[in-house]
Structure 1
Amino acid sequence: MGLSASLSTALSGLRTTQAGLDLVANNVANASTPGYVAKSLTTEQSATGGVKVTEVKRQIDLYLQRQLRSESATSANASTKADYLDQLQSLFSTVDGDTSIDSLVSSLSSAFDALATSPDSTTTQGSAVQEAVLLAQALNDASNGVQGLRQNADDALASGVDVANEALTSIQDLSRKIVASNDDGTRAALQDQRDQAINELAALMDVKVTDTGSGDVRIATTSGLTLYDAGEASRLSFEPTSNVTPQKAYSDDASESTLGTITLTRSSGYSADLLADGGLKSGELRALAELRDETLPEAQAQLDELAANLAQAFGSTTVAGAAVTGGVDLSTAGAQPGDTMTVSYTSGGKTRTVTLVNVTDPARLPLHGGVTADPDDTVIGVDFASATAADDIDAALAAAGIDIDAAETAGGFAFTASDASVTVAGGSSKITATVLSDDGVALPLFVDAGDAIYSGSLDGGDQRTGFAGRIAVNSAVTDDPALLTAYSSTAAASDSTRADFLVDALKTDRGFRTDAGLGGASSGYSGTIGEFAQDIVAYQASASATATRVSESQSAVVSALQDRYASKSGVDVDSELTNLITLQTAYSANARVMTAVKEMIDMLLQA
């Protein structure tokens, strides 16, 4: 090998080792930098016999990276749910806790027991009213807390969408720079930054990343909706709601939805609803949407169902039907919107139920079965006071395939079988009390805002929705607690008839609507008001505990993956220092060759 060739070879080695030294120094300097991936040099022999750097390579484990992103989305989803459910559980407190809703129901029951023993005691009367007020206030506070959490989730959705858009914009800009760059070191650094932006996006939603070549990628949700492709990022939009209330709900049908959704829009103009049809499978945004639109509304329904049953247990009377030839005559005297007639009949050897609900707003018809506590009944909405009520009932029964005829009577409607295979077994009416005395023992103790009577009306919307936030004790009763026992102007002060009714109302089993999430979807929930209160508190405590366990478990999975990923793709300082020694030795050797060549050339020139 000639001297010039030796010099060229040593010089190329010097340049290569210098590049290696620079890379090692950069690796060590960024050992603690989040998202930094260790780099290494790929070299090959040059045509002249020396060595050259062919690539600056990122030491990345793509399989672990994909797995980590997937689990990070699941972890963010779980931790978000755990955080909100922990706050939700605190609103309900714990079973038998001093301030828990079930304890307050129990305290009210004890106060009514004392009232039944001493109905003429002003002390027991006042105590009973006070317990009722405390329970109503607790329901108000819990309801307001639930809606506050829904508002927080809605606000967090807006913030999350902003963060996602920033990440997508960053991915777009970095990808364009990566494709345009001819320097391996620059490309590798830009890829680290892009990975960080993708990781940030992956915590918000489930993503799938595909390498399209030339340094570019394609990013889509796991459901197939494109987030970034061919140098163009999609845009996410979300319209936040300034005041989330129980009446506001998300719907896949945009014309019915009263809450914002996340819309993805491509540069082509194509758009999609990410919350509809499972557009998002996981991530923080999915968790927030589920909390706002499903989990927290269910908690609100539990509170509303408890409040509604409190109002109706004390404020309504069940009137048994009168037997008539072939059927039953049900009273509708004094019926309010939301009051019902229930007809029991036997057909095909099976006992069935029809529930007729007094609805004066035709826009609310037809009704869905979920408005009653019986998941198996046939529900019919009709205006009891309409001149055509009997005909309307007959038409609805015929449409439902029920062989029963309705006929108007002096005080209601008579129901008789129109087919020999059908037997009308009986029935009853639920009538809401509107006055405090001289109309039976029932009284509107718990009322809606402004002392409005609560009857479960469906006119203009379901009165039950948000009722827990509005429930109050009738101001006439708070002003005069003696009304708790004075059911008649002629009743003696020591008469315990109404007090006994109040006691029984809390201790009698009732049916509760299935949207409260207790019981089976086909069987519903039956029990006392106290049992229902205790079970919804336990339900929330269990849900919170489960969410916490899932979050902690998922966090452990992510932590383990991060450790594995760091061991494969992170900087190992010990290894880098070993490389540094090797490179320094090679550098010295190449420098020594150059020095030797120089000395030999000098000797030749002097000869």
Structure 2
Amino acid sequence: MSLTSALGSALSGLKANQAGLDVVAGNVANASTPGYVRKSTSPVASVAGGATTGVRTTEVKREIDLQLQKQLRTETAGASYASTRAAFLEQLQSLFGTPGAESSLDAQVSDLSTAIDALAASPDDQSARAGVLQQAGLLAQQLNAATTDVQALRASADQGLKDGVDAANEALTSIETITRAIVQAQARGGSTADLEDQRDMAVNTLSGLMDVKVESLAGGDIRIKTQGGLTLYDNGASTLSVTGGGAPVTAGSAYASDPSRSTLGTVTLTSPSGYATDLLANNALRSGELKAYAELRDETLPQAQTQLDELASQLALAFGATTTTGEAVTGGVALDVAGAQPGDRMTLAYTSGGVAGAATIVNVTDPSRLPLSGGLIGVDFSSPTAAADIEAALQAAGAAVTVTATDDGFAFTSGAADVTVTGATSRVTATGLSDGSVALPLFVDGAGGAIYSESLDGGAQRTGFAGRITVNPDLIADPSALVKTSADAAAGDQTRVDFLKDALSGDRTFSGDAGLRGSSAPFTGTLSEFAQGIISTQASASASATRVADGQSLVVSSLEDRFSAASGVDVDEEMTKLIQYQTAYSANARVMTTVNDMLKQLLNIL
């Protein structure tokens, strides 16, 4: 080898070792930088004419396990979904308290029962009457406050959805900007390792918000889709937006896939070409924070509100309505529904062809609400055609029952040889304090004192009722009505007090949409037991969500450790490489010094 060749080889060695030192220094400096992936470079021999002429370095590359990275992103979306749900459900559970706690719903119901027991023992005791009204007021206030808090959580979830959309757009914009820089740099033959780290950080942010999968393309480009196949980035970023909604979140606010019926915003994905997709209507979000926020706002928290509304509804109806068993008539049953309010109902039991059946007929005076859903028959009881309308609806449901109008209601009789009317009941709401009825509108709808009858006119009266329930102001003005069914009733009459007492202690059937046992097996029990069921259900849901979140967190933590071991910086390992590069650098420097000395000697000889 000539001296010039040796000098060239040593110089290339110096450059290669200097490049290696730079990479090692960068690794050590960024050992604690979030998202930084360990870099490396490998020396390869330079060959010319079959002879080695020196050494050169390959491009700086990232030491990354792509399969592990993919798995980590998938689990990150799951962890974000689980942790978001767990945080909200923990807050929700704290609102409801624990069974038997002093401020819990079941304790408030129990306290009201105790106050009514005291009134039953001394009906003419003014302090006992005041005690009932005080406890009723405290229970109403508890339901009002719980409704306010639940809707505040829904508003928080709605805001979280909006903030998440903004964060996703920011991440997608960063991905677009960085990807273009990567494509341009690779076209020039430049290193893109640091840019790829930055892009991975943006993708990781996006993966916490929604489920994503990333495809690597030629030239440093990528394609990002949701797990369901919707494109988020492909030679340009799609845009997310919250469309619709905007009004304050209330108990009556609801999301619907039909924009004309929805009062809450949805998440729309718009591609660079202008194609728009409703992610909520198409159930396109499978995981991540956005999925959790939408589910909490539109499903989980509304059901909690439904539970509160059902408790408030049954409280008002337990005291304020009477249920009467039908009177037997030839071939069937007659029901008295005199004074029925919108929402009051009749329940009919029959057999047809040996198969038991049932029908519920609801008093609906608002034609725009008809027909009703859920198998209910909606009819205006005061309409001249009510009997014919009920009969037609029963016939359409496969029940050959004849319906005729009576002075006070309707008679239901067999309309076919294989049909038997086996029973019927009616529920009628009282409107006055002393009209002779034992029922008492102890709780009313709002400060104005509107009668609560579970009306469906103009919308479901039950919706949000827990936030409006209050003690009847007329009763506060005249506490004697807690006992006296009429103006001339004795001050110590037990009839109404016994009714109030039985209302709390008796079993009731609660609506299946409260979610305690499912619509196929509605909860049956006392008001106190239903309140306990609500609390237990929320506590169980919170505990389950916390366990899932903790488990998902452990999975992500384990994957992060594995990813860090595979792609992170081990300072000790880097320091070993540093020593190796320094030693090689010194060796190449000595070669250059030696060659330089030899050249000087040759020049002196010449």
* Range of TM-score over shorter length: over 0.9
Alpha-carbon deviation of 1:184? Answer: 6.9
Alpha-carbon deviation of 1:176? Answer: 0.2
Kept in 2, the 8 Å contact 1:108–1:132? The answer is yes
Specify the code of the residue in structure 2 equivalent to 1:137. Q
Alpha-carbon deviation of 1:22? Answer: 0.6
Judge which range, 292-301 or 204-213, deviates more: 204-213
Provide the secondary structure at the position in 2 that maps to 1:55: coil
Q: Tell me, in whole angstroms, the C-alpha distance in 2 between the residues paired with 1:523 and 1:347.
A: 23
Which of 326, 329, 350 does residue 324 from structure 1 map onto? 329
Deviations 1:61-110 (A, max 9, x none): 11111111111111111110111011111111111010000100000011
Q: Tell me, in whole angstroms, the C-alpha distance in 2 between the residues paired with 1:296 and 1:181.
A: 49
Which residue of structure 2 aligns with residue 567 of structure 1? 565
Q: Tell me, in whole angstroms, the C-alpha distance in 2 between the residues paired with 1:313 and 1:519.
A: 21
Which of 417, 420, 423 does residue 420 from structure 2 map onto? 423
Alpha-carbon deviation of 1:478? Answer: 1.8
Specify the code of the residue in structure 2 equivalent to 1:30. N
Alignment of 1:244-263 (within 5 A): 244-263=249-268
Alignment of 1:141-290 (within 5 A): 141-182=145-186, 186-230=191-235, 232-239=236-243, 241-290=246-295
Q: Tell me, in whole angstroms, the C-alpha distance in 2 between the residues paired with 1:130 and 1:162.
A: 48
Which residue of structure 2 aligns with residue 75 of structure 1? 79
Q: Tell me, in whole angstroms, the C-alpha distance in 2 between the residues paired with 1:73 and 1:554.
A: 10
Deviations 1:583-603 (A, max 9, x none): 001101111111111111111
1:30 aligns with 2:27: no
Q: Tell me, in whole angstroms, the C-alpha distance in 2 between the residues paired with 1:279 and 1:50.
A: 57
Alignment of 1:194-593 (within 5 A): 194-230=199-235, 232-239=236-243, 241-369=246-374, 378-449=375-446, 450-593=448-591
Provide the secondary structure at the position in 2 that maps to 1:47: strand
Alpha-carbon deviation of 1:349? Answer: 2.4
Deviations 1:545-587 (A, max 9, x none): 1111111111111111111111111100000000000000110
Q: Tell me, in whole angstroms, the C-alpha distance in 2 between the residues paired with 1:527 and 1:572.
A: 63
Q: Tell me, in whole angstroms, the C-alpha distance in 2 between the residues paired with 1:476 and 1:327.
A: 40
Kept in 2, the 8 Å contact 1:55–1:184? The answer is no
- Divergent runs of 4+, >6 A: none
Which residue of structure 2 aligns with residue 606 of structure 1? 604
Deviations 1:85-137 (A, max 9, x none): 11111111111010000100000011111111111111111111100000000
Alpha-carbon deviation of 1:254? Answer: 2.0
Q: Tell me, in whole angstroms, the C-alpha distance in 2 between the residues paired with 1:503 and 1:555.
A: 50
Which residue of structure 1 aligns with residue 133 of structure 2? 129
Judge which range, 241-250 or 582-591, deviates more: 241-250
Judge which range, 479-488 or 125-134, deviates more: 479-488
Alpha-carbon deviation of 1:330? Answer: 1.3
Which residue of structure 2 aligns with residue 46 of structure 1? 46
Judge which range, 468-477 or 407-416, deviates more: 407-416
Judge which range, 463-472 or 554-563, deviates more: 554-563
Q: Tell me, in whole angstroms, the C-alpha distance in 1 between the residues paired with 2:353 and 2:568.
A: 72
Specify the code of the residue in structure 1 equivalent to 2:595. V
Provide the secondary structure at the position in 1 that maps to 2:528: helix
Provide the secondary structure at the position in 2 that maps to 1:84: helix
Which residue of structure 2 aligns with residue 374 of structure 1? none
Deviations 1:331-374 (A, max 9, x none): 221000000011110123232211100011111111112xxxxx
Q: Tell me, in whole angstroms, the C-alpha distance in 2 between the residues paired with 1:579 and 1:131.
A: 77
Q: Tell me, in whole angstroms, the C-alpha distance in 2 between the residues paired with 1:341 and 1:417.
A: 17
Q: Tell me, in whole angstroms, the C-alpha distance in 2 between the residues paired with 1:179 and 1:606.
A: 54
Specify the code of the residue in structure 1 equivalent to 2:197. D
| TM-score, normalised by the number of residues in structure 1 | 0.97
Q: Tell me, in whole angstroms, the C-alpha distance in 1 between the residues paired with 2:599 and 2:165.
A: 69
RMSD: 1.2
Alpha-carbon deviation of 1:185? Answer: 6.8
Provide the secondary structure at the position in 1 that maps to 2:35: coil
Alpha-carbon deviation of 1:256? Answer: 1.7
Alignment of 1:74-153 (within 5 A): 74-153=78-157
Q: Tell me, in whole angstroms, the C-alpha distance in 2 between the residues paired with 1:527 and 1:229.
A: 57
Specify the code of the residue in structure 1 equivalent to 2:341. Q
CA 1:267–1:438 in structure 2 vs 1: closer, same or farther (change >3 Å)? Answer: same
Provide the secondary structure at the position in 1 that maps to 2:217: strand
Kept in 1, the 8 Å contact 2:59–2:191? The answer is no
Kept in 2, the 8 Å contact 1:77–1:286? The answer is yes
Q: Tell me, in whole angstroms, the C-alpha distance in 2 between the residues paired with 1:191 and 1:184.
A: 15
Deviations 1:498-537 (A, max 9, x none): 1111110011111111110011331211111110001101
Kept in 2, the 8 Å contact 1:249–1:293? The answer is yes
Q: Tell me, in whole angstroms, the C-alpha distance in 2 between the residues paired with 1:479 and 1:32.
A: 71
Provide the secondary structure at the position in 1 that maps to 2:77: helix
Q: Tell me, in whole angstroms, the C-alpha distance in 2 between the residues paired with 1:242 and 1:195.
A: 37
Provide the secondary structure at the position in 2 that maps to 1:280: coil
Kept in 2, the 8 Å contact 1:56–1:184? The answer is no
Alpha-carbon deviation of 1:484? Answer: 0.9
Deviations 1:425-465 (A, max 9, x none): 12111000000013311011000011000000001110000
Unaligned runs of 5+ in 2: none
Kept in 2, the 8 Å contact 1:336–1:455? The answer is yes
Specify the code of the residue in structure 2 equivalent to 1:163. A
Alpha-carbon deviation of 1:310? Answer: 0.3
Alpha-carbon deviation of 1:186? Answer: 4.3
Unaligned runs of 5+ in 1: 370-377
Provide the secondary structure at the position in 1 that maps to 2:603: helix
Specify the code of the residue in structure 2 equivalent to 1:255. S
CA 1:486–1:63 in structure 2 vs 1: closer, same or farther (change >3 Å)? Answer: same
Q: Tell me, in whole angstroms, the C-alpha distance in 2 between the residues paired with 1:413 and 1:254.
A: 41
Provide the secondary structure at the position in 1 that maps to 2:263: coil
Provide the secondary structure at the position in 1 that maps to 2:134: helix
Deviations 1:191-218 (A, max 9, x none): 0000000000000001011111211111
